[in-house]
Structure 1
Amino acid sequence: MGAAIEVADLAMSYGTLRAVDGVTFEVGEGEFFGILGPNGAGKTTTLEMIEGLRKPDSGTVTLLGEPTWPRNPGLLPRIGVQLQASSFFERLTAREQIHTFAAMYGVGPGPADAWLERVGLDDKVDTRVEKLSGGQVQRLSIACALVHDPDVVFLDEPTAALDPQARRNLWDLLSGLNESGRTVVLTTHYMDEAEALCERVAIMDHGQVLRLDSPAALVRGLDAPTRITVAAGQLTLDDGRAIGGVDVAEAESGGLVLTTRDPAVVLTTLAERGHLDGIQVRTGTLEDVFLDVTGREYRA
Protein backbone atom coordinates (compact mmCIF):
# COMPACT_ATOMS: atom_id res chain seq x y z
CA MET A 1 0.00 0.00 0.00
CA GLY A 2 1.40 3.39 -1.03
CA ALA A 3 1.01 6.70 0.75
CA ALA A 4 -1.99 8.85 -0.18
CA ILE A 5 -0.63 11.71 1.95
CA GLU A 6 2.97 12.51 2.87
CA VAL A 7 3.64 15.35 5.31
CA ALA A 8 7.25 16.30 6.05
CA ASP A 9 8.40 18.84 8.67
CA LEU A 10 5.33 21.03 8.16
CA ALA A 11 5.31 24.39 9.97
CA MET A 12 3.01 27.40 10.14
CA SER A 13 3.01 30.48 12.38
CA TYR A 14 0.51 33.26 13.02
CA GLY A 15 2.67 36.12 14.20
CA THR A 16 4.52 34.84 17.26
CA LEU A 17 2.23 31.79 17.61
CA ARG A 18 3.76 28.59 16.24
CA ALA A 19 0.51 26.85 15.25
CA VAL A 20 2.17 23.88 13.53
CA ASP A 21 5.72 23.00 14.49
CA GLY A 22 7.52 20.36 12.46
CA VAL A 23 4.69 17.90 11.80
CA THR A 24 5.61 14.71 9.91
CA PHE A 25 3.42 11.70 9.10
CA GLU A 26 2.08 9.55 6.27
CA VAL A 27 -1.44 8.31 5.53
CA GLY A 28 -1.73 5.13 3.51
CA GLU A 29 -4.04 4.66 0.56
CA GLY A 30 -7.42 3.50 1.85
CA GLU A 31 -6.53 4.26 5.46
CA PHE A 32 -8.90 5.86 7.98
CA PHE A 33 -6.61 8.27 9.82
CA GLY A 34 -7.48 10.47 12.80
CA ILE A 35 -5.91 13.69 14.05
CA LEU A 36 -6.73 14.37 17.70
CA GLY A 37 -5.84 17.18 20.04
CA PRO A 38 -7.24 19.84 22.37
CA ASN A 39 -8.44 23.21 21.10
CA GLY A 40 -5.55 25.15 19.58
CA ALA A 41 -3.39 22.06 19.06
CA GLY A 42 -2.90 22.82 15.35
CA LYS A 43 -5.22 20.18 13.88
CA THR A 44 -7.26 22.43 11.59
CA THR A 45 -4.23 24.40 10.37
CA THR A 46 -2.49 21.13 9.54
CA LEU A 47 -5.53 19.94 7.57
CA GLU A 48 -5.81 23.24 5.70
CA MET A 49 -2.18 22.99 4.57
CA ILE A 50 -2.66 19.38 3.46
CA GLU A 51 -5.78 20.41 1.52
CA GLY A 52 -3.92 23.27 -0.17
CA LEU A 53 -5.96 25.99 1.52
CA ARG A 54 -2.94 27.51 3.29
CA LYS A 55 0.68 27.96 2.26
CA PRO A 56 3.07 26.38 4.77
CA ASP A 57 5.88 28.50 6.16
CA SER A 58 8.10 25.46 5.63
CA GLY A 59 7.89 21.74 4.99
CA THR A 60 6.17 19.82 2.22
CA VAL A 61 2.87 18.06 1.56
CA THR A 62 2.29 15.48 -1.14
CA LEU A 63 -1.29 14.43 -1.80
CA LEU A 64 -2.00 11.54 -4.19
CA GLY A 65 1.55 11.92 -5.49
CA GLU A 66 1.32 15.65 -6.18
CA PRO A 67 2.27 18.76 -4.19
CA THR A 68 -0.68 20.70 -2.77
CA TRP A 69 1.00 24.12 -2.92
CA PRO A 70 0.97 26.16 -5.07
CA ARG A 71 -2.74 25.48 -5.27
CA ASN A 72 -3.17 22.44 -7.50
CA PRO A 73 -6.44 22.52 -9.53
CA GLY A 74 -5.85 18.99 -10.73
CA LEU A 75 -6.30 17.65 -7.21
CA LEU A 76 -9.63 19.37 -6.54
CA PRO A 77 -11.89 16.74 -8.19
CA ARG A 78 -10.06 13.99 -6.28
CA ILE A 79 -10.57 15.35 -2.76
CA GLY A 80 -13.63 16.11 -0.64
CA VAL A 81 -13.45 18.63 2.19
CA GLN A 82 -15.92 19.20 5.01
CA LEU A 83 -14.81 22.26 6.96
CA GLN A 84 -15.42 23.03 10.62
CA ALA A 85 -17.70 25.93 9.67
CA SER A 86 -19.96 25.54 6.62
CA SER A 87 -21.16 28.32 4.34
CA PHE A 88 -23.96 27.80 1.83
CA PHE A 89 -25.64 29.90 -0.81
CA GLU A 90 -28.45 31.95 0.71
CA ARG A 91 -32.11 31.13 0.12
CA LEU A 92 -31.43 27.79 -1.59
CA THR A 93 -33.02 24.53 -0.49
CA ALA A 94 -31.01 21.50 0.56
CA ARG A 95 -31.59 19.92 -2.87
CA GLU A 96 -30.60 23.09 -4.70
CA GLN A 97 -27.45 23.36 -2.59
CA ILE A 98 -26.18 19.88 -3.31
CA HIS A 99 -27.21 20.07 -6.98
CA THR A 100 -25.09 23.22 -7.26
CA PHE A 101 -22.09 21.53 -5.65
CA ALA A 102 -22.58 18.46 -7.84
CA ALA A 103 -22.77 20.55 -11.04
CA MET A 104 -19.38 22.11 -10.22
CA TYR A 105 -17.88 18.63 -10.54
CA GLY A 106 -19.97 17.53 -13.52
CA VAL A 107 -22.15 15.25 -11.38
CA GLY A 108 -25.82 14.87 -12.27
CA PRO A 109 -28.84 15.41 -9.98
CA GLY A 110 -29.48 11.69 -9.47
CA PRO A 111 -26.29 10.96 -7.47
CA ALA A 112 -26.76 14.25 -5.59
CA ASP A 113 -30.26 13.25 -4.47
CA ALA A 114 -28.92 9.84 -3.45
CA TRP A 115 -26.42 11.52 -1.13
CA LEU A 116 -29.18 13.51 0.54
CA GLU A 117 -30.91 10.23 1.28
CA ARG A 118 -27.71 8.61 2.57
CA VAL A 119 -27.21 11.37 5.15
CA GLY A 120 -30.87 11.29 6.21
CA LEU A 121 -32.05 14.51 4.58
CA ASP A 122 -34.49 13.06 2.04
CA ASP A 123 -37.39 14.62 3.99
CA LYS A 124 -35.68 18.05 3.97
CA VAL A 125 -34.89 18.39 0.27
CA ASP A 126 -37.20 21.41 -0.18
CA THR A 127 -36.18 23.15 3.06
CA ARG A 128 -34.00 26.23 2.85
CA VAL A 129 -30.63 25.87 4.52
CA GLU A 130 -31.34 28.66 7.00
CA LYS A 131 -34.33 26.62 8.24
CA LEU A 132 -32.27 23.48 8.89
CA SER A 133 -31.01 22.60 12.37
CA GLY A 134 -27.30 22.70 13.14
CA GLY A 135 -27.05 18.93 12.83
CA GLN A 136 -28.90 18.92 9.52
CA VAL A 137 -26.58 21.59 8.13
CA GLN A 138 -23.63 19.46 9.23
CA ARG A 139 -25.00 16.42 7.40
CA LEU A 140 -25.65 18.51 4.27
CA SER A 141 -22.06 19.74 4.43
CA ILE A 142 -20.79 16.16 4.52
CA ALA A 143 -23.00 15.17 1.58
CA CYS A 144 -21.66 18.11 -0.46
CA ALA A 145 -18.09 17.02 0.33
CA LEU A 146 -18.79 13.50 -0.92
CA VAL A 147 -21.10 14.14 -3.87
CA HIS A 148 -18.33 13.91 -6.51
CA ASP A 149 -17.00 10.57 -5.19
CA PRO A 150 -13.52 11.78 -4.13
CA ASP A 151 -10.49 9.54 -3.56
CA VAL A 152 -9.50 11.33 -0.32
CA VAL A 153 -11.98 12.81 2.15
CA PHE A 154 -11.11 15.36 4.86
CA LEU A 155 -13.61 15.68 7.70
CA ASP A 156 -13.05 18.37 10.33
CA GLU A 157 -15.17 17.46 13.39
CA PRO A 158 -18.02 16.10 11.23
CA THR A 159 -20.25 14.96 14.11
CA ALA A 160 -19.84 17.98 16.38
CA ALA A 161 -23.48 19.11 16.07
CA LEU A 162 -25.12 15.70 15.75
CA ASP A 163 -27.24 13.83 18.27
CA PRO A 164 -26.09 10.31 19.33
CA GLN A 165 -28.35 8.53 16.83
CA ALA A 166 -27.20 10.69 13.92
CA ARG A 167 -23.56 10.24 15.00
CA ARG A 168 -23.88 6.45 14.90
CA ASN A 169 -25.60 6.53 11.52
CA LEU A 170 -22.82 8.73 10.17
CA TRP A 171 -20.20 6.33 11.55
CA ASP A 172 -21.76 3.58 9.44
CA LEU A 173 -21.64 5.84 6.39
CA LEU A 174 -18.01 6.78 6.95
CA SER A 175 -16.97 3.18 7.56
CA GLY A 176 -18.59 2.27 4.25
CA LEU A 177 -16.64 5.00 2.47
CA ASN A 178 -13.38 3.67 3.83
CA GLU A 179 -14.24 0.05 3.04
CA SER A 180 -14.79 1.06 -0.61
CA GLY A 181 -11.15 2.11 -0.83
CA ARG A 182 -11.24 5.83 -0.08
CA THR A 183 -8.74 7.47 2.21
CA VAL A 184 -10.40 9.33 5.08
CA VAL A 185 -8.74 11.89 7.37
CA LEU A 186 -10.76 12.88 10.42
CA THR A 187 -10.38 15.35 13.24
CA THR A 188 -12.64 14.87 16.24
CA HIS A 189 -12.95 15.58 19.95
CA TYR A 190 -14.86 12.32 20.47
CA MET A 191 -12.39 9.65 21.54
CA ASP A 192 -14.97 6.87 21.15
CA GLU A 193 -15.44 8.00 17.56
CA ALA A 194 -11.72 7.80 16.85
CA GLU A 195 -11.50 4.34 18.47
CA ALA A 196 -14.45 3.07 16.44
CA LEU A 197 -13.38 4.46 13.05
CA CYS A 198 -9.64 5.10 12.84
CA GLU A 199 -6.94 2.59 11.97
CA ARG A 200 -4.30 5.00 13.29
CA VAL A 201 -4.45 8.32 15.11
CA ALA A 202 -1.99 11.16 15.62
CA ILE A 203 -2.36 13.03 18.92
CA MET A 204 -1.27 16.66 18.54
CA ASP A 205 -0.62 19.41 21.03
CA HIS A 206 1.22 22.74 20.77
CA GLY A 207 1.59 22.20 17.03
CA GLN A 208 3.43 18.87 17.29
CA VAL A 209 2.55 15.20 16.89
CA LEU A 210 3.14 13.65 20.31
CA ARG A 211 1.87 10.11 19.64
CA LEU A 212 1.04 8.20 16.45
CA ASP A 213 -0.21 4.62 16.36
CA SER A 214 -3.37 2.54 16.28
CA PRO A 215 -5.83 3.28 19.11
CA ALA A 216 -5.32 -0.23 20.52
CA ALA A 217 -1.53 0.11 20.54
CA LEU A 218 -1.72 3.52 22.22
CA VAL A 219 -3.98 2.13 24.94
CA ARG A 220 -1.67 -0.85 25.49
CA GLY A 221 1.29 1.49 25.77
CA LEU A 222 -0.43 3.47 28.51
CA ASP A 223 -0.56 0.37 30.76
CA ALA A 224 -3.60 1.75 32.58
CA PRO A 225 -5.11 -0.21 35.48
CA THR A 226 -8.56 -1.78 35.27
CA ARG A 227 -11.38 -0.30 37.33
CA ILE A 228 -14.01 -2.79 38.49
CA THR A 229 -17.16 -1.26 39.96
CA VAL A 230 -19.16 -3.57 42.20
CA ALA A 231 -22.80 -2.68 42.82
CA ALA A 232 -23.96 -1.48 46.23
CA GLY A 233 -24.69 -4.28 48.69
CA GLN A 234 -22.38 -6.81 47.03
CA LEU A 235 -19.20 -6.15 49.03
CA THR A 236 -18.24 -4.36 52.20
CA LEU A 237 -15.15 -2.19 52.26
CA ASP A 238 -13.32 -4.82 54.32
CA ASP A 239 -14.37 -7.57 51.90
CA GLY A 240 -12.93 -5.58 49.01
CA ARG A 241 -9.62 -4.99 50.78
CA ALA A 242 -9.40 -8.69 51.61
CA ILE A 243 -9.30 -9.66 47.92
CA GLY A 244 -5.68 -8.54 47.60
CA GLY A 245 -3.93 -6.82 44.72
CA VAL A 246 -6.50 -4.03 44.55
CA ASP A 247 -6.98 -0.44 45.61
CA VAL A 248 -10.47 -0.03 47.04
CA ALA A 249 -12.58 3.12 47.07
CA GLU A 250 -16.25 3.85 47.55
CA ALA A 251 -18.16 4.60 44.36
CA GLU A 252 -20.57 7.52 44.04
CA SER A 253 -23.34 4.98 43.40
CA GLY A 254 -22.75 3.45 46.83
CA GLY A 255 -20.82 0.41 45.66
CA LEU A 256 -17.07 -0.14 45.55
CA VAL A 257 -14.43 0.57 42.91
CA LEU A 258 -11.60 -1.96 42.78
CA THR A 259 -8.56 -0.77 40.85
CA THR A 260 -6.15 -3.50 39.77
CA ARG A 261 -3.54 -4.50 37.21
CA ASP A 262 -4.57 -8.15 37.44
CA PRO A 263 -8.29 -8.07 36.56
CA ALA A 264 -8.53 -11.79 35.75
CA VAL A 265 -7.69 -12.79 39.32
CA VAL A 266 -10.02 -10.20 40.84
CA LEU A 267 -12.93 -11.13 38.56
CA THR A 268 -12.41 -14.83 39.30
CA THR A 269 -12.50 -14.11 43.04
CA LEU A 270 -15.67 -12.04 42.68
CA ALA A 271 -17.30 -14.82 40.64
CA GLU A 272 -16.41 -17.46 43.21
CA ARG A 273 -18.04 -15.32 45.90
CA GLY A 274 -21.13 -14.58 43.80
CA HIS A 275 -20.56 -10.82 43.51
CA LEU A 276 -20.89 -10.34 39.75
CA ASP A 277 -24.43 -8.90 39.70
CA GLY A 278 -24.36 -5.35 38.32
CA ILE A 279 -20.59 -5.36 37.90
CA GLN A 280 -18.92 -2.85 35.54
CA VAL A 281 -15.40 -3.26 34.14
CA ARG A 282 -13.52 -0.31 32.65
CA THR A 283 -10.13 -0.79 31.05
CA GLY A 284 -7.89 1.92 29.58
CA THR A 285 -9.33 3.90 26.69
CA LEU A 286 -8.08 6.30 24.05
CA GLU A 287 -9.43 9.10 26.23
CA ASP A 288 -7.05 8.01 29.00
CA VAL A 289 -4.17 8.15 26.51
CA PHE A 290 -5.29 11.58 25.28
CA LEU A 291 -5.41 13.01 28.81
CA ASP A 292 -2.08 11.41 29.71
CA VAL A 293 -0.42 13.00 26.67
CA THR A 294 -2.08 16.43 26.61
CA GLY A 295 -2.87 16.99 30.30
CA ARG A 296 -6.11 17.85 32.03
CA GLU A 297 -5.98 21.64 32.18
CA TYR A 298 -8.88 23.60 30.71
CA ARG A 299 -8.39 24.77 27.09
CA ALA A 300 -10.39 27.76 25.85
Structure 2
Amino acid sequence: MAIALTRRTLLRLAGTTSLAMAAAAAARAEGPAPVVGPGFAASTPIRCGAIGLRVRDLDEMSRYYQSVLGLGVIAASADGVILGAGGVPLVWLEPRPQAAYEPRNAAGLFHTAFLMPSRHDLARWLVHVARNQTPLTGFADHSVSEAVYLDDPEGNGIEVYADRDPRLWRWEGERVVMGTHRLDVDGILSLTDTSRSNYRDAPAGMRIGHMHLRVGDIAQSEDFYRDAIGLDSTSRRDTASFLSSGRYHHHVALNTWNSASAGPRDQAQTGLDWFSLEVADPALLAAQRERMAKAGYAPATVARGFESTDPWGTRVRLVGA
Protein backbone atom coordinates (compact mmCIF):
# COMPACT_ATOMS: atom_id res chain seq x y z
CA MET A 1 0.00 0.00 0.00
CA ALA A 2 1.37 3.43 -0.92
CA ILE A 3 1.96 5.80 1.97
CA ALA A 4 1.91 9.58 1.99
CA LEU A 5 5.49 10.70 2.40
CA THR A 6 5.53 13.48 4.94
CA ARG A 7 7.88 14.61 7.65
CA ARG A 8 5.56 12.87 10.10
CA THR A 9 6.01 9.59 8.21
CA LEU A 10 9.78 9.82 8.53
CA LEU A 11 9.56 10.69 12.21
CA ARG A 12 7.32 7.70 12.83
CA LEU A 13 9.87 5.44 11.13
CA ALA A 14 12.48 6.87 13.46
CA GLY A 15 10.25 6.23 16.47
CA THR A 16 10.02 9.93 17.32
CA THR A 17 7.45 12.71 17.31
CA SER A 18 9.74 15.62 16.55
CA LEU A 19 12.92 16.39 14.66
CA ALA A 20 14.43 17.45 17.97
CA MET A 21 13.92 13.92 19.27
CA ALA A 22 15.37 12.53 16.04
CA ALA A 23 18.42 14.75 16.42
CA ALA A 24 18.79 13.56 20.01
CA ALA A 25 18.71 9.97 18.78
CA ALA A 26 21.35 10.84 16.21
CA ALA A 27 23.44 12.44 18.94
CA ARG A 28 23.50 9.08 20.65
CA ALA A 29 24.57 7.57 17.33
CA GLU A 30 27.23 10.11 16.35
CA GLY A 31 28.10 12.01 19.48
CA PRO A 32 27.98 15.63 20.60
CA ALA A 33 29.07 16.16 18.00
CA PRO A 34 36.74 21.15 -3.78
CA VAL A 35 34.77 17.98 -4.67
CA VAL A 36 31.45 17.14 -3.07
CA GLY A 37 30.65 13.60 -1.91
CA PRO A 38 32.85 10.50 -2.01
CA GLY A 39 35.29 12.21 -4.37
CA PHE A 40 36.96 13.93 -1.41
CA ALA A 41 36.64 11.12 1.14
CA ALA A 42 38.06 8.63 -1.36
CA SER A 43 40.86 10.86 -2.70
CA THR A 44 42.88 11.12 0.51
CA PRO A 45 46.15 9.19 1.03
CA ILE A 46 44.31 6.70 3.27
CA ARG A 47 40.58 6.08 2.94
CA CYS A 48 37.94 3.52 3.92
CA GLY A 49 37.56 0.41 1.81
CA ALA A 50 35.28 -2.48 2.81
CA ILE A 51 33.96 -4.27 5.89
CA GLY A 52 33.56 -7.90 6.88
CA LEU A 53 30.60 -8.78 9.10
CA ARG A 54 30.05 -12.06 10.96
CA VAL A 55 26.34 -12.78 10.57
CA ARG A 56 23.93 -15.42 11.83
CA ASP A 57 21.37 -15.27 9.02
CA LEU A 58 23.24 -14.81 5.77
CA ASP A 59 20.15 -14.73 3.54
CA GLU A 60 18.29 -12.18 5.64
CA MET A 61 21.31 -9.92 5.98
CA SER A 62 22.11 -10.11 2.28
CA ARG A 63 18.52 -9.23 1.39
CA TYR A 64 18.59 -6.29 3.78
CA TYR A 65 21.72 -4.69 2.37
CA GLN A 66 20.40 -5.23 -1.15
CA SER A 67 16.86 -3.98 -0.56
CA VAL A 68 17.56 -1.13 1.88
CA LEU A 69 20.92 0.20 0.62
CA GLY A 70 20.64 -1.06 -2.94
CA LEU A 71 23.96 -2.92 -2.88
CA GLY A 72 24.47 -5.51 -5.61
CA VAL A 73 25.80 -9.05 -5.28
CA ILE A 74 29.38 -9.25 -6.56
CA ALA A 75 30.02 -12.83 -5.47
CA ALA A 76 28.18 -15.49 -3.50
CA SER A 77 29.21 -18.92 -2.22
CA ALA A 78 28.92 -21.13 0.82
CA ASP A 79 31.64 -19.00 2.38
CA GLY A 80 29.55 -15.84 2.22
CA VAL A 81 28.31 -12.99 0.08
CA ILE A 82 30.17 -9.95 -1.21
CA LEU A 83 28.04 -6.87 -1.87
CA GLY A 84 29.02 -3.58 -3.44
CA ALA A 85 28.16 -0.53 -5.53
CA GLY A 86 29.34 0.14 -9.05
CA GLY A 87 31.18 -3.18 -8.99
CA VAL A 88 33.28 -2.10 -5.98
CA PRO A 89 33.11 -4.53 -3.02
CA LEU A 90 31.92 -2.81 0.16
CA VAL A 91 30.35 -5.44 2.45
CA TRP A 92 31.51 -9.04 2.98
CA LEU A 93 28.97 -11.15 4.89
CA GLU A 94 30.49 -14.19 6.57
CA PRO A 95 28.02 -16.82 7.87
CA ARG A 96 28.24 -17.79 11.53
CA PRO A 97 24.82 -19.39 12.09
CA GLN A 98 25.58 -20.55 15.64
CA ALA A 99 27.13 -17.28 16.83
CA ALA A 100 25.73 -15.34 19.75
CA TYR A 101 24.92 -11.69 19.11
CA GLU A 102 27.65 -9.28 20.19
CA PRO A 103 26.34 -7.10 23.06
CA ARG A 104 26.02 -3.35 22.56
CA ASN A 105 28.42 -2.62 25.43
CA ALA A 106 31.24 -4.63 23.89
CA ALA A 107 33.97 -3.09 21.80
CA GLY A 108 33.29 -3.41 18.08
CA LEU A 109 31.17 -1.70 15.46
CA PHE A 110 29.17 1.40 16.33
CA HIS A 111 28.16 2.01 12.75
CA THR A 112 29.33 1.77 9.16
CA ALA A 113 28.79 5.07 7.37
CA PHE A 114 27.80 4.81 3.69
CA LEU A 115 28.55 8.04 1.85
CA MET A 116 26.21 9.07 -0.94
CA PRO A 117 27.71 10.86 -3.96
CA SER A 118 25.32 13.80 -3.53
CA ARG A 119 22.54 15.28 -1.45
CA HIS A 120 20.17 14.40 -4.27
CA ASP A 121 21.12 10.73 -3.91
CA LEU A 122 20.48 10.98 -0.16
CA ALA A 123 17.04 12.42 -0.96
CA ARG A 124 16.21 9.59 -3.37
CA TRP A 125 17.32 7.01 -0.80
CA LEU A 126 15.27 8.68 1.95
CA VAL A 127 12.13 8.44 -0.19
CA HIS A 128 12.98 4.78 -0.84
CA VAL A 129 13.26 3.80 2.82
CA ALA A 130 10.23 5.84 3.79
CA ARG A 131 8.03 4.27 1.15
CA ASN A 132 9.27 0.83 2.18
CA GLN A 133 8.64 1.73 5.85
CA THR A 134 12.18 0.82 6.85
CA PRO A 135 12.70 1.57 10.56
CA LEU A 136 15.12 4.45 11.18
CA THR A 137 16.87 5.43 14.41
CA GLY A 138 17.63 9.12 13.90
CA PHE A 139 18.46 12.10 11.70
CA ALA A 140 21.11 14.78 12.18
CA ASP A 141 22.93 17.68 10.59
CA HIS A 142 26.57 17.36 11.64
CA SER A 143 27.66 20.69 10.09
CA VAL A 144 30.05 18.89 7.72
CA SER A 145 27.41 16.38 6.59
CA GLU A 146 23.75 15.36 6.74
CA ALA A 147 23.00 11.91 8.12
CA VAL A 148 20.29 9.31 8.64
CA TYR A 149 20.72 6.35 11.01
CA LEU A 150 19.33 2.83 11.12
CA ASP A 151 20.25 -0.70 12.26
CA ASP A 152 20.47 -3.87 10.21
CA PRO A 153 18.50 -6.96 11.35
CA GLU A 154 21.36 -8.14 13.59
CA GLY A 155 21.88 -4.80 15.28
CA ASN A 156 24.84 -3.48 13.32
CA GLY A 157 24.59 0.30 13.13
CA ILE A 158 24.39 2.03 9.75
CA GLU A 159 24.71 5.67 8.81
CA VAL A 160 23.75 6.92 5.35
CA TYR A 161 25.00 10.44 4.71
CA ALA A 162 26.00 13.12 2.24
CA ASP A 163 28.86 15.53 2.77
CA ARG A 164 28.56 19.25 2.49
CA ASP A 165 30.97 20.97 0.16
CA PRO A 166 34.30 20.89 2.06
CA ARG A 167 34.69 24.62 1.35
CA LEU A 168 31.82 25.11 3.83
CA TRP A 169 33.47 23.14 6.64
CA ARG A 170 34.83 25.26 9.43
CA TRP A 171 38.27 24.47 10.81
CA GLU A 172 39.77 25.84 14.00
CA GLY A 173 43.41 25.04 13.47
CA GLU A 174 43.63 21.27 13.09
CA ARG A 175 40.11 20.72 14.48
CA VAL A 176 37.04 20.57 12.26
CA VAL A 177 33.79 21.90 13.72
CA MET A 178 31.17 19.16 13.91
CA GLY A 179 27.92 19.10 15.86
CA THR A 180 24.54 17.41 16.04
CA HIS A 181 21.69 19.64 14.89
CA ARG A 182 18.21 19.32 13.45
CA LEU A 183 18.26 17.86 9.96
CA ASP A 184 16.57 19.86 7.19
CA VAL A 185 14.41 16.97 6.03
CA ASP A 186 12.17 19.24 3.95
CA GLY A 187 15.19 20.72 2.17
CA ILE A 188 16.51 17.26 1.33
CA LEU A 189 13.14 15.96 0.12
CA SER A 190 12.66 19.05 -2.07
CA LEU A 191 15.42 17.69 -4.32
CA THR A 192 13.40 14.73 -5.58
CA ASP A 193 9.92 13.46 -6.38
CA THR A 194 8.43 12.22 -3.12
CA SER A 195 5.36 10.69 -4.79
CA ARG A 196 7.32 7.65 -5.88
CA SER A 197 10.67 5.95 -5.34
CA ASN A 198 13.20 5.85 -8.16
CA TYR A 199 15.93 4.36 -5.96
CA ARG A 200 16.64 0.68 -6.50
CA ASP A 201 20.38 0.26 -6.99
CA ALA A 202 22.96 2.10 -4.92
CA PRO A 203 24.67 4.90 -6.86
CA ALA A 204 27.84 3.64 -8.51
CA GLY A 205 29.82 6.19 -6.49
CA MET A 206 28.55 5.13 -3.06
CA ARG A 207 31.46 4.27 -0.76
CA ILE A 208 32.09 3.69 2.93
CA GLY A 209 32.97 7.19 4.05
CA HIS A 210 33.91 6.40 7.63
CA MET A 211 33.92 3.71 10.28
CA HIS A 212 32.67 4.42 13.80
CA LEU A 213 33.86 1.99 16.46
CA ARG A 214 33.10 1.20 20.08
CA VAL A 215 36.33 0.98 22.08
CA GLY A 216 37.23 0.42 25.71
CA ASP A 217 39.57 3.38 26.15
CA ILE A 218 40.10 6.50 24.02
CA ALA A 219 43.82 6.96 24.73
CA GLN A 220 44.53 3.31 23.97
CA SER A 221 42.52 3.47 20.77
CA GLU A 222 44.45 6.54 19.65
CA ASP A 223 47.71 4.70 20.25
CA PHE A 224 46.59 2.27 17.57
CA TYR A 225 44.55 4.29 15.07
CA ARG A 226 46.43 7.59 15.31
CA ASP A 227 49.98 6.72 16.34
CA ALA A 228 50.43 3.28 14.74
CA ILE A 229 48.20 3.57 11.66
CA GLY A 230 49.04 7.23 11.18
CA LEU A 231 45.64 8.92 10.96
CA ASP A 232 45.39 12.57 12.03
CA SER A 233 43.18 13.80 14.86
CA THR A 234 40.41 16.12 13.65
CA SER A 235 38.26 16.30 16.79
CA ARG A 236 38.73 15.06 20.35
CA ARG A 237 36.53 14.74 23.42
CA ASP A 238 36.93 12.82 26.66
CA THR A 239 34.76 9.98 25.38
CA ALA A 240 35.26 10.19 21.60
CA SER A 241 37.99 10.75 19.04
CA PHE A 242 37.72 11.48 15.32
CA LEU A 243 40.60 10.74 12.94
CA SER A 244 41.21 11.16 9.23
CA SER A 245 43.67 11.32 6.37
CA GLY A 246 44.07 14.37 4.14
CA ARG A 247 41.82 16.70 6.17
CA TYR A 248 38.62 14.77 5.64
CA HIS A 249 36.34 15.34 8.64
CA HIS A 250 36.83 11.73 9.78
CA HIS A 251 37.53 8.32 8.31
CA VAL A 252 37.52 6.63 11.73
CA ALA A 253 35.60 7.58 14.87
CA LEU A 254 36.12 5.99 18.29
CA ASN A 255 33.88 6.22 21.33
CA THR A 256 33.39 4.77 24.83
CA TRP A 257 29.78 5.88 25.28
CA ASN A 258 28.53 2.34 25.89
CA SER A 259 31.81 0.41 25.96
CA ALA A 260 34.08 2.08 28.51
CA SER A 261 36.59 -0.42 29.94
CA ALA A 262 35.44 -3.12 27.50
CA GLY A 263 37.76 -6.10 27.27
CA PRO A 264 38.76 -8.17 24.23
CA ARG A 265 35.96 -9.00 21.82
CA ASP A 266 34.60 -12.54 21.58
CA GLN A 267 35.55 -13.65 18.07
CA ALA A 268 32.81 -16.29 18.15
CA GLN A 269 30.11 -13.60 18.29
CA THR A 270 28.47 -11.67 15.46
CA GLY A 271 29.53 -8.18 14.42
CA LEU A 272 32.47 -6.52 12.74
CA ASP A 273 35.18 -8.99 11.81
CA TRP A 274 37.47 -6.62 9.90
CA PHE A 275 37.51 -3.43 7.90
CA SER A 276 39.98 -2.12 5.37
CA LEU A 277 41.72 1.17 4.82
CA GLU A 278 42.99 1.72 1.30
CA VAL A 279 46.38 3.31 0.70
CA ALA A 280 46.93 4.87 -2.72
CA ASP A 281 50.74 5.07 -2.68
CA PRO A 282 52.65 1.75 -2.59
CA ALA A 283 55.55 3.49 -0.85
CA LEU A 284 53.21 4.77 1.85
CA LEU A 285 51.71 1.29 2.26
CA ALA A 286 55.19 -0.19 2.76
CA ALA A 287 56.05 2.57 5.23
CA GLN A 288 52.83 1.93 7.12
CA ARG A 289 53.66 -1.75 7.46
CA GLU A 290 57.05 -0.88 8.93
CA ARG A 291 55.41 1.67 11.23
CA MET A 292 52.92 -0.92 12.52
CA ALA A 293 55.69 -3.46 13.10
CA LYS A 294 57.78 -0.95 15.09
CA ALA A 295 54.71 -0.16 17.18
CA GLY A 296 54.44 -3.84 18.09
CA TYR A 297 51.24 -4.66 16.21
CA ALA A 298 52.66 -7.60 14.20
CA PRO A 299 51.27 -7.00 10.68
CA ALA A 300 50.22 -10.19 8.87
CA THR A 301 50.10 -10.45 5.08
CA VAL A 302 46.70 -10.41 3.36
CA ALA A 303 45.75 -9.90 -0.29
CA ARG A 304 47.04 -6.51 -1.49
CA GLY A 305 48.50 -5.58 1.88
CA PHE A 306 48.56 -6.50 5.54
CA GLU A 307 46.41 -6.52 8.65
CA SER A 308 46.87 -5.90 12.35
CA THR A 309 44.50 -6.27 15.26
CA ASP A 310 43.40 -3.34 17.37
CA PRO A 311 43.54 -3.64 21.20
CA TRP A 312 40.03 -5.16 21.31
CA GLY A 313 40.43 -7.72 18.54
CA THR A 314 39.05 -5.93 15.47
CA ARG A 315 41.20 -6.69 12.44
CA VAL A 316 42.21 -3.64 10.41
CA ARG A 317 43.55 -4.22 6.92
CA LEU A 318 45.74 -1.72 5.09
CA VAL A 319 45.60 -2.55 1.41
CA GLY A 320 46.64 -1.05 -1.88
CA ALA A 321 43.97 1.07 -3.53
TM tier relative to shorter chain: under 0.3
- Structure with a larger share of its residues in helix: 1
Q: Which has the larger radius of gyration?
A: 1
- Structure with a larger share of its residues in strand: 2
Q: TM-score, normalised by structure 2?
A: 0.23
Q: TM-score, normalised by structure 1?
A: 0.24
- Larger RCO: 1 or 2 (CA < 8 Å, sep 6+): 2
